[in-house]
Structure 1
């Protein structure tokens, strides 16, 4: 890929036709694309947090379900693919914070030549070392 930001921007807008939640994990998808978030995340609108990966299941499902039919109109994904931000047409913002390679986020689209897999800036071993565990 010559330029990740250009390649991702060329995909927009992406209409959300389906969503799913499982524990703290969320999935959003549409025709020819899918986002799976298996790490920390938050959905906010106009600066107000609506739900996070720590929300109760009912709230999480209701908020995520509320994005069905909305469109992703902007994505902030840097070359390191660490912590992306997805902007929806209703002003909702999904922020993702990956922690280790065990809990990544993935984004795939039929017109994107690679599958993006975002992990935190630390490897699992680095994370264990930081926690004083080996």
Structure 2
């Protein structure tokens, strides 16, 4: 995971054209990339949580990210390459919290790189 951040940064921005959330799996994608997770996630702005996966209207709210772009990426806790945090073009962040190694997050990038988290 050492070069994950560097490789993703070289591919930015990544437009979010499609979002799928069924209460278990979250999938963000566009023509050349995707991010999939079955872990808990939240969307925040300036340190204040706006909504999260367990909210009743999470499906409607997460669909509101369609049309934005991922413009930055880091770890939720700096220096701990476990939980990815994606900065969005409207200033919000999507943080993912890996819960098990059985269902890791997966990110496929336009350059052909594929990263599997928490594995």
Higher RCO by CA contacts (8 Å cutoff, separation 6 or greater) = 2
Are positions 1:95 and 2:95 aligned together? yes
Q: Relative to 1, partners in 2 of residues 1:66 and 1:5: Cα closer, same or farther, differing over 3 Å?
A: same
Structure 1 unmatched ranges of 5 or more: 121-134
Structure 1 or 2, whichever has the larger Rg, is 1
TM-score by length of 2: 0.85
Q: Partner of 2:27: helix, strand, or coil?
A: strand
CA distance in 2, matches of 1:65, 1:25: 13
Are positions 1:74 and 2:93 aligned together? no
Match of 2:24 in 1: 24
Match of 1:62 in 2: 60
Q: Which has the higher helix share?
A: 1
Number of residue pairs the alignment of both structures matches: 117
Backbone CA RMSD of aligned residues: 2.3
CA distance in 1, matches of 2:3, 2:107: 16
Give how far 1:107 is off.
0.6
| Counterpart mapping for 1:41-60 below 5 A | 41-56=41-56, 59-60=57-58
CA contact (8 A) 1:39 1:103 kept: yes
Give how far 1:11 is off.
0.5
CA distance in 1, matches of 2:14, 2:92: 14
CA contact (8 A) 1:4 1:79 kept: no
Structure 2 unmatched ranges of 5 or more: none
Match of 2:15 in 1: 15
TM-score by length of 1: 0.77
